Structure 1
């Protein structure tokens, strides 16, 4: 059995918001397996409401651009982080975002590493960001990056307030017919934060985990054994409606799904991305 250390307990408490004893029991039952321990906590309904996994939010902006290419369009989005919103809302920081995204698009970067190596007036984007850090007297860095390509690409940039730069950018690629509702889909992505485009995109291990959680939760609730499979399928469908874009209720008309609005115009959504300031991977 794996050793249940204080560091492991703290990590799981930070990620779930559950109490120390609940966390320790879950880790013991899961023999130190963090993912399994999270499942146990969820199944027992002891995860704190509103608890959020991941790192603490950072300040900054999301810069984005669409470029026409021979095959259609390409969209790029880059997160630039600062330590304070005082810096991120300055005209100089916004200009930094404009310069970086222009360099990224020109270099046709495909990863964070390629973003930082993209040529710029300062040498590379990495050099540009380093110069900005010296100017603002704050730690400035490149955060998340997304590149989406298709026949048509739509970008929606969301600002939390008029004086702040974009903090959420949603991108969706569609075929020509689907472009008629691409803006609506981008609004949906921004607001509802789906994780996958279609059910088939959900990893098998994620589905299996959701089934286990739903089964154990139903058993803990004392549901009759013979109806548990039906309850599990219902809860799995609810999971799809929450996390899969085409299964989500369309925010402007809940009687439809996002998939329905694409069917109405005879179009397809091909891929999407959503970036939000401070929601990237832990450094």
Structure 2
């Protein structure tokens, strides 16, 4: 049996983030050879990846990086907050994010096929999941083009990496107002920029639902059209950014705030871990 010291075990654990017992056993099996121990731990973890495939990933991080012409944002998910706040998981997020920013990938399928250090990101993530001992997945990626950006990353827990992220591309010179709009988006969660961007099918479905609700409430038939229209407009204000009331002053709409600041929104995205 190889003579494995506590210092060796500590060094390998710090490198990989693995458990004490697994690390010691791998070093013993590898007769003290660090690289062989790493391979043993990866192979052991890879076998567990398949078993973890159906597990839910409700924790993780949001990360974003800007370039001159676009900003890329990702959601990297895992099973527990313990892994989410680990240095190894955060480092994996940085590797994935930078590879995607460099590649220009815009879809999840394209993102997973991007290569980093000779391996696809899908393989890189699987390898790290094997070491971390949890299911890890790249859940979402978005690339927002533009010339000017405001990126807002929000921590819902000081011990965790950002759990909410917003990328806002804009025109104009008021960076402070642009940031406040990004913060508003993180709170208000709009789905579209304008009411015209909302699919007609979604509007009609909402109209059908509120009409059914209004009838069920016993509203007068003659008043139904006005009531339904009012409720549909309330829905449009909820999901379209420019229609929303400004979080910092609900007497103003976002459209009015942008006009006063002489800036325009050309695109945005909002991610929340697990949502």
TM over 0.5: yes
How many corresponding residue pairs? 221
Q: Is 1:160–2:153 an aligned residue pair? A: no
> What is the distance in 1 between the residues matched to 2:136 and 2:171?
37
RMSD: 1.7
State the match for 2:13 in structure 1: none
1:121-142 CA distances to partner (integer Å, 9 max, x unpaired)? 2522122111111110111111
SS across alignment from 1:138: coil
> What is the distance in 2 between the residues matched to 1:178 and 1:264?
10
Q: Is residue 238–residue 244 contact of structure 2 (8 Å, CA) maintained in 1?
A: yes
Q: Is 1:250–2:209 an aligned residue pair? A: no
Q: Is residue 122–residue 128 contact of structure 1 (8 Å, CA) maintained in 2?
A: no
How far the C-alpha of 1:56 sits from its partner, in A, is 6.7
How far the C-alpha of 1:226 sits from its partner, in A, is 1.4
State the match for 2:103 in structure 1: 107
State the match for 1:124 in structure 2: 120
State the match for 1:66 in structure 2: 66
Q: Is 1:87–2:111 an aligned residue pair? A: no
State the match for 2:17 in structure 1: none
State the match for 2:94 in structure 1: 98
> Runs of 4 or more off by more than 4 Å in structure 1?
177-180
SS across alignment from 2:169: strand
SS across alignment from 1:233: helix
After superposition, where does 1:108-257 map in structure 2 within 5 Å? Answer: 108-121=104-117, 123-177=119-173, 179-257=175-253
How far the C-alpha of 1:181 sits from its partner, in A, is 2.1
How far the C-alpha of 1:151 sits from its partner, in A, is 2.3
SS across alignment from 2:67: strand
Instruction: Please say which of residues 98-107 and 180-189 is displaced more in the overlay.
Output: 180-189
Q: Rate the CA distance shift 1:194–1:86 in 2: closer, same or farther, 3 A.
A: same
1:10-37 CA distances to partner (integer Å, 9 max, x unpaired)? xxxxxxxxxxxxxxxxxxxxxxxxxxxx
SS across alignment from 1:160: coil
1:85-139 CA distances to partner (integer Å, 9 max, x unpaired)? 1101111111111111111111111111221122212522122111111110111
Listed as ranges, the gaps of 5+ residues in structure 2 are 1-54
How far the C-alpha of 1:179 sits from its partner, in A, is 4.4
Higher alpha-carbon Rg: 2
1:189-208 CA distances to partner (integer Å, 9 max, x unpaired)? 11111111100001101111
TM-score, normalization by structure 2: 0.76
Q: Is residue 176–residue 267 contact of structure 1 (8 Å, CA) maintained in 2?
A: yes
1:194-233 CA distances to partner (integer Å, 9 max, x unpaired)? 1111000011011111111121222111111111111111
